[in-house]
Structure 1
Amino acid sequence: MTTPWTTLVGAGTLAGALDRDDLVILDCRFSLAAPEAGPAAYAASHLPGALYAHLDRDLSDHRKRGGGRHPWPDAADFNARLGDWGITQARQVVAYDDGDGAHAARLWFLLRALGHEHAAVLDGGWARWTALGLPTQIGVRDVTRVARDGRFDESRLLNASQVQAHLARGGMLVDARARGRFLGEAEPIDRVAGHVPGAVNRPYADNLVEGRFKPRDRLAREFGELLGTHDAADVVAMCGSGVTACHHLLAMEHAGLPGAKLFTGSWSGWIEDPARPVVTGES
C-alpha cells in the first residue's frame, strides 16, 4: 500500500507518481493584487493533470459578512466543490502555488479540518517544480463528478469571541503576519494597524528557507521554543484573513505538533468590531 502524503511532498517524489489513479493535483496560484492572475497562469501552464482552485471563489465564501477578508466556507459548499473536482475521501490530494505555499496551505487545512487526511502541499511549489525542469501541460482534464459530505471539525475553527475566551483561559495565539504589521508600524491591507492583545508573533516566512519548508526537526525545535509549556492543541494561529496562518498549521503538523487551531477571521475579522481592543508595539 502506498504511504499517504499528509503534510509535504517533494517535487521529485510527486513527479514519480503522476500516473497514480488516486492522485488529484490542485493549482492554488493566486494574487491579492490581481485575482485573475492565478487562473491566467494556470491556463498558460500547470502541473500535469492539475485542476485550478481559486482562493476567493473556491476556498472562501464572500457571501458571508463578519468573517474577515476571506470568510471560511460552509462545509456543504466546500464538499460540493470537492465533488466537482472528483475528490472522494480516498483520493490523495496535492496542492501547490507559485508563492511561499500559503495559498496551498489554506486548501490543505480546509481538507484537514474536513477530515481528509490524504492531503499535502508541494514543497517549493511551482518555482521548485519548474526549476527542476519537471513536466507541465496546458488544458483541463475531464473529471467525473462525485457526491460527498462531511463536516468541519468546528473545534479547530475559532471566531473572534472564541479567541477572546481562549486567551482568557491562558491559551496561546500566534500571529503569522510580518513583524511590521504585527507591531502596527505598517498596514498595507487592513484599515486598522496593530495586533490582538496577548498574541505573539512568528511570521510564517520563518517556516521557510530558500523557498522550501525547513527540515522537520528544525521546525519542531523552533516551534517548541515558541510554545514553551503550551501543547500544540492549545495554540490558535491567525494572520490577516485566515490564509497565511494555515502555513503555521501545516508547518506544525509536519514537525510532529498536530492539533493547532485557526482563527478563521483573523485580524480583518477582529477589527470588524471597533469595540475589540487593539494594541501596537511590543505590548
Structure 2
Amino acid sequence: MAGWTTLVQAETLSVGLARPDVVVLDCRFDLADNNAGENAWMQAHVPGARYAHLDRDLSGPLQASKGRHPWPDAAEFRERLGRWGISPQTQVVAYDADSGAFAARAWFLLRALGHEKVAVLDGGWKRWTALGLPVDNKVPVPISAKYHAEFDARRILDADQVAEALQAGELLVDARAPARFRGEEERLDRVAGHVPGAVNRPLTDNLADGRFKSPGQLAEEFRALLHGSPANQLIAMCGSGVTACHHLLAMERAGMPGARLFAPSWSGWISDPARPVATGE
C-alpha cells in the first residue's frame, strides 16, 4: 500500500507539499462557534489547504435519528471531493488544531469509501506552526476531479445494529470525556449518560504530548480492551460520530484495522426516548 495511510509528520508533509498529487484539508472546528475554524483558515493555513467544514462538508443534513452530525450521503460527499480536486489516486492529508479529533472524521469518511492514501497530520496546526513551517492565507484555485465509490456499509452502524451487537457480546467504546460518559455533565445533548454496556476510553488516551502514541503502545491498550476479541468486534462512538473516528484511526495505526463506527452515536441513541440510558461508571 503506497502513500501515507494513517499519520504523517509535519516535517514529512512540508517536503511533500510540492507533490502534484497531494491535497491538504484543513478541518479546524469549534463546536461552540461553527465559524471559528473557517475564520482561522482564512487567516492562515498550511499552503494550499482547502477548508473542510464539519457541518457543511463532513456531515449530512440534520435528521434526529442520525445525530448532530449525520453521516453524509455518498453522492454528496463524492461531489465535495471533486470540488477539492480529490480523485481515488490523490494523497489526502487532513489536519485540525491539534489532537486530530476533527481531522479523523475526514480520514474515516475517505477510508470508508475505500480510499487508502489518506492520513492525519500528527499534532495538527499546533505542531506545524510550532516548528515554524510555511503558512499562507491564499484561497486555493478550485480543481475539478471525479470520484466514484460507495461507503462500506459494514463499517457504519445505526442504533438498532449497535443494540444487536451489544446483545451478541461485541464491544462499544465511547470516546467522550469521562464526566460526559458518567452523565455528570452534558453541554451538547439533551440527555446525559451513556449507552448501557458501553465502556469509556476518551480519545485523549490515544495521545501523548499532543501526538499519537506509538503503534505498539496503542495495540497493547486496544488489545486489553478487546480481551482477545478481533478488532472488527469493536464499535466506536462519541457524542455525534465525529471524535469516535479518532479511535478508528488509532487502531489502524496500531495495525488493528476493521473496527466500526456507531455513526449517530449518543445524540442519535437518545433521539428515541424508549432506548435505555445508563449513568455512572
Q: Is the TM-score greater than 0.5?
A: yes
Confirm or deny that 1:208 pairs with 2:212. no
Match for residue 222 of structure 1?
A: 221
Match for residue 47 of structure 2?
A: 48
Match for residue 102 of structure 1?
A: 101
Query: What are the equivalent positions in structure 2 for 1:104-119 lying under 5 Å apart?
Result: 104-119=103-118
Query: What are the equivalent positions in structure 2 for 1:101-250 lying under 5 Å apart?
Result: 101-250=100-249
Query: What are the equivalent positions in structure 2 for 1:29-68 lying under 5 Å apart?
Result: 29-68=28-67
Confirm or deny that 1:86 pairs with 2:88. no
Cα deviations by residue, 1:49-69 (Å, 9 ceiling, x for unpaired):
110000000000124342000
Cα distance in 2 for residues equivalent to 1:142 and 1:214: 36
Aligned partner letter, 2:260: K
Cα distance in 1 for residues equivalent to 2:34 and 2:62: 17
Q: CA 1:28–1:13 in structure 2 vs 1: closer, same or farther (change >3 Å)?
A: same
Cα deviations by residue, 1:218-237 (Å, 9 ceiling, x for unpaired):
11111111111211011100
Match for residue 263 of structure 1?
A: 262
**Structure 1 stretches of at least 4 aligned residues deviating more than 3 Å after TM superposition:** none
Matched residues, number:
281
Q: CA 1:65–1:195 in structure 2 vs 1: closer, same or farther (change >3 Å)?
A: closer
Cα deviations by residue, 1:93-115 (Å, 9 ceiling, x for unpaired):
00000031110000000000011
- The worse-fitting range, judged by mean Cα deviation, of 121-130 and 211-220 is 211-220
Any stretches of 5+ residues in structure 1 without a counterpart? none
Q: Judge conservation of contact 2:100–2:246 (CA < 8 Å) in 1.
A: yes
Q: Judge conservation of contact 2:62–2:69 (CA < 8 Å) in 1.
A: no
Cα distance in 2 for residues equivalent to 1:184 and 1:200: 13
Cα deviations by residue, 1:32-53 (Å, 9 ceiling, x for unpaired):
1110011110010000111000
Deviation at 1:143, TM superposition (A): 2.8
Equivalent position SS for 1:102: coil
Equivalent position SS for 1:66: helix
Cα distance in 1 for residues equivalent to 2:241 and 2:140: 30
Match for residue 12 of structure 1?
A: 11
Cα distance in 1 for residues equivalent to 2:195 and 2:64: 20
Cα distance in 2 for residues equivalent to 1:18 and 1:84: 19
- The worse-fitting range, judged by mean Cα deviation, of 29-38 and 184-193 is 184-193
Residue identity over aligned pairs, in percent, reads 62
Cα distance in 2 for residues equivalent to 1:173 and 1:11: 32
Deviation at 1:185, TM superposition (A): 1.3
Cα distance in 1 for residues equivalent to 2:66 and 2:43: 33
Aligned partner letter, 1:150: A
Q: Judge conservation of contact 2:23–2:86 (CA < 8 Å) in 1.
A: yes
Cα distance in 2 for residues equivalent to 1:72 and 1:19: 32
C-alpha RMSD of the superposition: 1.0
Equivalent position SS for 1:42: helix
Deviation at 1:79, TM superposition (A): 0.3
Cα distance in 2 for residues equivalent to 1:244 and 1:146: 28
Cα distance in 2 for residues equivalent to 1:148 and 1:92: 14
